[in-house]
Structure 1
Amino acid sequence: MVEVEAQVVGGPVHLAGDTVQVCVTVTAPALDPASTAQSSDVCEVLAWGSAQIHCQCSVNESRVLLPPSSPKQTEERAVTNADTSFAPCRGERGRVVLSTKPKILFCDLHLLPGESRSFVYKEMLPCDAPPTYRGQLLKYVYKITIGTQRLGAPTKLLRIPFRVIVLQGLSEACVYSESGELAPTNPFLHTPQRDTPRYTAFQIIQNASMRKNLNQYNITNTRGKVVRFCIYKTNFRLGEDIVATLDFSEAQVKCVQYSVTLQSEEIITENCRQRANQKPMLVPYSKSHEVCLNLSHTHLLLPIPLHVTPTFTTDLVSVQWHLHFEFVTSVGDVKGPSEPNTRDDQVEWRAPSCVDIETMVWDLPINILPTMPSQVAQAVCMPTLHVLPL
C-alpha cells in the first residue's frame, strides 16, 4: 500500500504573513520476498498530487447571519463533485473565507517497490488573514489539504489542521516610527532579515508589550472610595502575566473581597446579527480571588493562557479582551483588630459572622497580542506528522 506522509516544517502554529512549508513524502510498499514478480512489473503510478490551504468559517446560525455566497464559491462547489478532481473543501462544514491557489506537487509519478520521493509545498499566508478561532458563535479553522490519485482509483485527501495567529490593532505609523527602537545595534550580532512580515510583526509586538505606562484608577461607589488600582501596561502578549497592585490604605468603604477575571468578548458585526438587541458573548478564562478585609495593600497576578486567540476584528466578528472586577463591599462599618500596646503583644481578632454587603463590578479593556508561534505550539499540542494510505 502506497503511503503519503506529510510533515509540517516549523510546527503547527504560524503567524499570518509566514511561509508555511510541508514536506510530502510518497513511499511505495516493498516487494514481497515470496513474490516472483519483478520490481519493474509492480511499479506504482500516481497520476497527480496537489496541495492547498483553506480557512473554513462556521457559525451558530441562530445568532449569526452570514452574507450570501459569492457566485464564484457556488460555481466551485458545482464543479468539484467528481471523484477525480481536487476538491479540498469537499465534505467540510462551513464557508470558505480564504483559500490559496492549488499547487501541483507531482504528475505521473512512478515508484518502484520500496522507493520514496519527497516534495516540498510552500505557501505564504496573507497578512490580513483571519486567525484560528473557536468561539461560542463563530469558528475559523485552517487546514492544509493534500490530494492525490492513484491511476484508476478515486482521489484521496489528507487534511492537516494547523493554527494561525494574527497581529491586528496597531497602526501603520507604529511600523515606521518605532520598528527600529529595539533592533540590535551590535555589528557582531546576527541581524535577521527586516523586510519580512514576521520580523515587522515581532518588532511591533515587542515595542507595544514592553512599553510601560502606569495607569491608576480610583474605584468608588456612591459611598466613597473603595480602592486604588494600579496597572503598568495594557498591552500583553500571550503567555504573559498581568501584574497590578490594589491600594486600600485610603479607602472610605471597606472592601471584604474582590475577584478579577480575564474575559473575552465576542461581538458579532451589526449587519450579521440575527437579532438587533443581541448581546456580546462573554467567555471567562483566568481568575484571581482574594479576601482583602483589613488589608492595606495587595497585588494581582493573572496569567494569560497561550491557547487563547489575541485581539482581532474581521468583517463578521470582533474579539476584545478585558479584566472583569467584582468588589464586595460592606454597607456598615466593620471594625478591624485593635493596635497592640507593644511589639510583643499578640492581638486576636475574629471576623464577624454576618456582614451587610453590596457588590460592584468594573471592566478594564486590555489588548492581547500574539507571541512566538513556537511558544503557542507547546500549549495547543497539535501533531505535525500525518499519514495517508492510498
Structure 2
Amino acid sequence: MIEVKAKLIRGSVFLIGETVECYITFSNPPIPNYQTSQSHDDSFESLAWASAQIDCLCTTDGKIGKNPLGATKPKTNSETSLTPCDESGYIEVATKPVILFCDLRLSPGETKSFLYQEVLPNDGPPSYRGQAIKYSYKITIGTQRVNSPIKLLRVPLKILPLSISGLTDAAGLLCNDTTEELTPTNPFLETKPTETPLELALQSLQNITARRQPNFYMISNTRGKVGRFCLFKNAYKLGEDIVGTFDFSIATVSCVQLSVSLQCEEVTTVESKNNKEPSKRSRIITFNKHHEVCLGLKHSQLILPVPLHVTPAFSTPLVTLKWRLHFEFVTSTSKQLIPPGLDQCGWQGPSELPIETMVWSLPVRIFSTTPLQVSLALQAATEHSLIIR
C-alpha cells in the first residue's frame, strides 16, 4: 500500500499568472510488528511513474456551443493520459504534464517528497460556477503501478482573474520600457530588482480600487425628482463595502421605501439551429440586498458588502460576467403624506396609499483581491490524499 499526499503551500486560491506550488509525498506505511514475522513477500512497494499537470474543465448546460463564432479551440496539450474522460465537459486549457519520477521503490516506513511548480496560463478563464457554464481548475496527479490501472488524485484550485480592464497590458508596457537599459551603467552601484508583470498588475489594481471619485446621480421620474444618489467610487475589490448616500431633501416626489441589490449579469452565447448566428442569453444572479423604509427621511446611506467567494468581472468567447447595482424605488404623490404642522396633533398615516415602482441599474466594477484573503475566508482544504493498494 502506498499513500499519496498533496499539500498546497500557500492555500488553494491564486491569481492568473501566479506560480502554484504543491508538495507531493509518496509514502509506504511501516509494517506492524505482528505482521513482520508472518510476511514472506517482498516488503518493497514500487510505482512505475508519476506526473502532474493543471487543467481547467469547462462544463455547460448543453445549450452553449463548444466553439461559437470567435471562440478558440481547446489547447492541444490537454489531450494527455490525465484528461478526465469520466467527467462531462471539455478541457478549456491545460499545462504540459511534468514527470515527477520513474520507477520509484519505497521500503516500509520510507517517504519521498517532490515539489511541483507550475505557472498558471495567462489565457485561461477564472474559476466560475454559474447557472449555464462552469470553469473548474485542479491539479491532476497521476501514478501507476506496473500492470495496474492509472490512479488519479485531483486537487481543486480557485483562480481569480487579473487581466481585465487592461491591467495586464499596462503592466506589460511598463515592463517593456527599455529606457533605463540604454543609460550608462555603473558596476559599483547596487542594481535594483525589477518588478514582475504580476506585481505591476497588482499595483495597478490597488491604485484603481483605492481611488475615490464621488459620482452624483439625480433620480427622477415623470412626476418629479425622487432624490439624489452619491457613489464614492465605482471600482471595488472582493470583500470591500459599497458605500453610498441618498439625499431626499431636494425631492418633489415622496420615496416610501427603497432596495438596492448587488447583482451579476451572466451573458452566454447560445447555439442556434438551422446554422444561424448564435444568440445571447442573459441571467441575473442576486447576492446581497439592502432594504430600507425611507418615508420622512432627508438623508440615508447604503452599505453593501461584496462577498469574497464571488467571481470578479471577466469575459470569454462563451460567457461575459458583469456587475451592477439594481435599485427599486417605491414612490407616491399622495397628498396624505404631507407632514403635519407643528400646531397639528393626532395625525395618522393613510390606510391606503397609491404607489409607483421605479427600477434603475448602475454598473459597477468588481476586481480581484489578495488570494490569501480569499483563501482564509473560504477555508478550503489544502491537503488531499489517495491510497493505492
Q: Shorter-chain TM-score category?
A: 0.7 to 0.9
Verify: 1:371 aligned to 2:366, yes or no: no
2:160 to 151, 161, 165: 165
Deviates most, 207-216 or 276-285:
276-285
Residue 279 and residue 225 in structure 1: after superposition, are their counterparts in 2 closer, same or farther (change >3 A)?
farther
Q: CA deviation at 1:335?
A: 2.7
How do 1:138-149 residues align onto structure 2 when only pairs under 5 Å count? 138-149=133-144
Deviates most, 40-49 or 209-218:
40-49
| Residue in structure 2 matched with residue 188 of structure 1 by the alignment | none
| Residue in structure 1 matched with residue 178 of structure 2 by the alignment | none
Q: CA deviation at 1:223?
A: 0.7
Residue 238 and residue 71 in structure 1: after superposition, are their counterparts in 2 closer, same or farther (change >3 A)?
closer
1:306 to 292, 308, 315: 308
1:329 to 328, 331, 344: 331
Instruction: Give the secondary structure class of the aligned counterpart of 1:280.
Output: strand
Q: CA deviation at 1:176?
A: 7.5
| Residue in structure 2 matched with residue 44 of structure 1 by the alignment | 45
Deviates most, 324-333 or 40-49:
40-49
Q: CA deviation at 1:200?
A: 2.0
Report the residue type matching 1:222 in the other structure.
Answer: T
Q: CA deviation at 1:167?
A: 1.6
| Residue in structure 2 matched with residue 251 of structure 1 by the alignment | 251
| Residue in structure 2 matched with residue 382 of structure 1 by the alignment | 380
| Residue in structure 1 matched with residue 103 of structure 2 by the alignment | 108
Q: Distance in 1 between matches of 2:40 and 2:107?
A: 6
Q: CA deviation at 1:380?
A: 2.5
Q: Is the 8 A contact 1:193 1:199 kept in 2?
A: no
Q: Distance in 2 between matches of 1:313 and 1:46?
A: 42
Q: Distance in 2 between matches of 1:213 and 1:348?
A: 46
Q: CA deviation at 1:73?
A: 5.8
Q: CA deviation at 1:42?
A: 1.1
1:93 to 88, 96, 109: 88
Q: Distance in 2 between matches of 1:177 and 1:124?
A: 21
Q: Distance in 2 between matches of 1:140 and 1:377?
A: 18
| Residue in structure 2 matched with residue 290 of structure 1 by the alignment | 292
| Residue in structure 2 matched with residue 201 of structure 1 by the alignment | 201
Alpha-carbon displacement from aligned partner over 1:233-273 (angstroms, at most 9, x marks no partner)? 1000000000000000010111100000000000114x756
| Residue in structure 1 matched with residue 115 of structure 2 by the alignment | 120
Runs of 4+ in 1 over 4 A off after TM superposition: 37-40, 68-75, 176-179, 271-278, 346-349
Residue 169 and residue 276 in structure 1: after superposition, are their counterparts in 2 closer, same or farther (change >3 A)?
same
Q: Distance in 2 between matches of 1:221 and 1:375?
A: 42
Report the residue type matching 1:373 in the other structure.
Answer: P
Residue 232 and residue 70 in structure 1: after superposition, are their counterparts in 2 closer, same or farther (change >3 A)?
closer
Q: Distance in 2 between matches of 1:207 and 1:75?
A: 37
Q: Give the TM-score taking structure 2 as reference length.
A: 0.86
Q: Distance in 2 between matches of 1:43 and 1:176?
A: 52
**Structure 2 unaligned spans of 5+:** 176-191
Aligned residues: 364
Q: Give the TM-score taking structure 1 as reference length.
A: 0.86
Verify: 1:131 aligned to 2:126, yes or no: yes
Residue 40 and residue 108 in structure 1: after superposition, are their counterparts in 2 closer, same or farther (change >3 A)?
farther
Alpha-carbon displacement from aligned partner over 1:283-328 (angstroms, at most 9, x marks no partner)? 0000000001111100000000000000101111110000000000
Q: Distance in 1 between matches of 2:348 and 2:339?
A: 8
| Residue in structure 2 matched with residue 58 of structure 1 by the alignment | 59
Instruction: Give the secondary structure class of the aligned counterpart of 1:42.
Output: coil
Q: Distance in 2 between matches of 1:75 and 1:217?
A: 49
Instruction: Give the secondary structure class of the aligned counterpart of 1:136.
Output: coil
| Residue in structure 1 matched with residue 352 of structure 2 by the alignment | 354
Alpha-carbon displacement from aligned partner over 1:303-362 (angstroms, at most 9, x marks no partner)? 000000001011111100000000000042343443546xxxx97654322110010100
Instruction: Give the secondary structure class of the aligned counterpart of 1:200.
Output: helix
Residue 298 and residue 31 in structure 1: after superposition, are their counterparts in 2 closer, same or farther (change >3 A)?
same
| Residue in structure 2 matched with residue 185 of structure 1 by the alignment | none
Q: CA deviation at 1:37?
A: 7.1
Report the residue type matching 1:60 in the other structure.
Answer: D
Instruction: Give the secondary structure class of the aligned counterpart of 2:42.
Output: helix
Instruction: Give the secondary structure class of the aligned counterpart of 1:198.
Output: helix
Q: Distance in 2 between matches of 1:91 and 1:355?
A: 60
Provide the aligned C-alpha RMSD in A: 2.7
Q: Distance in 1 between matches of 2:117 and 2:102?
A: 17
